[in-house]
Amino acid sequence: MTHPLVVTAQELASEFEKRAAHWDESRSYCWSNVSALADAGIMGMTIPKALGGQGASFLDVVEVVEEIAKACALTARIVVEANMGGISAVMAYGTEEQKAFCAQHVLAGDKPAICITEPDAGSAATDMKTTAQRQGDIYVLNGHKHWITGGGVSKLHLVFAHVIDEAGEELGIGGFIVFVDPTSGDLPCGFEVIGREKTLGICGMPEAELRFSNLEVHERWLLKPPSGFKRGFADLMEAYNSQRVGAGTIAMGVAVAALDHAKRYLLEREQFGRPLAEFQGLQWMVADMDTNLRAARLLLQEAACSKSPNGRPFPDMTMAARAKLFASETAIKVVNDALQMFGARGYSDREPLERMLRDVRMFTIGGGTAQVLRNQIAGSVLGIKCPQTRDGYMRLATADQSMAAE
């Protein structure tokens, strides 16, 4: 059954579409759209009703995201991050205080910023160097984060760091809820936004560089995973399976809109005395575009409805990886083909295709590159852990040689 907010999203999308080019050209955050989303109850849909949310499922969010992505990828990305990923981790693992505090801000329009990536730790996230040293009931954070989506506009930050106890022993990686108010201009001591990347697409979303210098965070804001610190990072990252589904949905939604634009143009534009829609070569392109988008939607819906094998409230990792991989690569191909159908007109900003192509390009990179996702899928299919490091491959090769010798 379709969630009532899907209809609301369709209504809002018509206004969002009119402003999409503005956010792109001005590289500005879509505050007016965020206000409309919050008023409609779309921010924090997955937050339990007891905390003021809708108690919506990931499938509900996927359906809402597709409608908004057809109009504005930037706005759709905000919807994903206000309903999946970080906020899901807090709702699953947080204390009652943490859940209530984060719910309050997300429902009001905040999008949590997830602080994992560092200059030298991208796909190899556990190579991060940020530390959180315990001193009594305070943790002191020091480190450098990069490519932080929403850094500089978000109030809630979930900062991942190596947790070190008072004796100097590293316990593992943990997440810390850090609250700042960028609009006030009064950032906490030790929290600094030191740069913003000028990106190819989704230009209104800041991708920030942050520095923590003796930033003090009270222990009550440490998000404790159920498996403890040694397995804690894996537990927390499990929440991002939902975010991968959301990211794939944004890409798919943008591509659906691109196909809609192409269909309109093929029916209107005439060359050689007949509409472009009558040329078989273009008809075959449309057939492939439509078929692949429908397949992407089914994979995304399957992943959104799936359950983690360990019973935690997140989608299955392999299904999420498979859905994001196929949806993101399909989106690039579909939008690129749609632009091709417009010819030179599609290459200009007279049509939204050039913006759409720039927007979808990032989804084979952010949230798990296409190559990393393929490794995860292959490992699941083969029933093995595919190591990423050189030492890991050497250990695997040694084990294979030993088995062969036996």
Longest dimension (CA), the chain: 81
Question: In terms of domains, do 279 and 214 share one?
Answer: no
- % of the chain residues with pLDDT over 70: 94
Greater pLDDT, 183 or 92: 92
Question: Residue 247 pLDDT > 70, yes or no?
Answer: yes
Q: By residue range, what is the domain housing residue 270?
A: 238-368
pLDDT tier at 395, thresholds 50, 70, 90: very low
CATH for 58? 1.10.540.10
Locus of tokens 């906020």: 87
Phi, psi of 9 (to 5 degrees): -60, -40
Question: Residue 397 pLDDT > 80, yes or no?
Answer: no
What are the tens digits of pLDDT across the range 304-363?
999 988 888 899 999 999 999 999 999 999 999 999 999 999 999 999 999 999 999 999
pLDDT tier at 237, thresholds 50, 70, 90: confident
Question: In terms of domains, do 119 and 66 share one?
Answer: no
Question: In terms of domains, do 118 and 198 share one?
Answer: yes
Question: How much is the pLDDT for 327?
Answer: 98
Question: In terms of domains, do 361 and 375 share one?
Answer: no
Question: Residue 393 pLDDT > 80, yes or no?
Answer: no
Average pLDDT of the chain to the nearest whole number: 92
- Entry field: residues in the chain: 406
Question: How much is the pLDDT for 388?
Answer: 60
In the numeric block, which tokens belong to residue 219?
A: 């222990």
Question: In terms of domains, do 244 and 355 share one?
Answer: yes
Question: In terms of domains, do 270 and 178 share one?
Answer: no
Q: Which amino acid is at 135?
A: Q
Find the mean pLDDT for residues 161-179: 93
What are the tens digits of pLDDT across the range 268-308?
999 999 999 999 999 999 999 999 999 999 999 999 999 98
What are the tens digits of pLDDT across the range 83-132?
998 999 999 999 999 999 999 999 999 999 999 999 988 787 788 999 99
Question: In terms of domains, do 162 and 243 share one?
Answer: no
Find the mean pLDDT for residues 43-56: 97
Question: In terms of domains, do 243 and 364 share one?
Answer: yes
Phi, psi of 277 (to 5 degrees): -60, -15
The pTM (predicted TM-score) of the whole model is 0.93
CB contact set of 29 (below 8 Å; sequence gap of 6+): 23, 153, 204, 205, 206
Phi, psi of 200 (to 5 degrees): -70, -45
Question: In terms of domains, do 180 and 243 share one?
Answer: no
Point out the domain boundary residue: 215, 234, 253: 234
Find the mean pLDDT for residues 381-395: 66
Question: In terms of domains, do 70 and 120 share one?
Answer: no
When divided into structural domains, the chain yields a total of: 4
Question: How much is the pLDDT for 398?
Answer: 44
Phi, psi of 297 (to 5 degrees): -60, -45
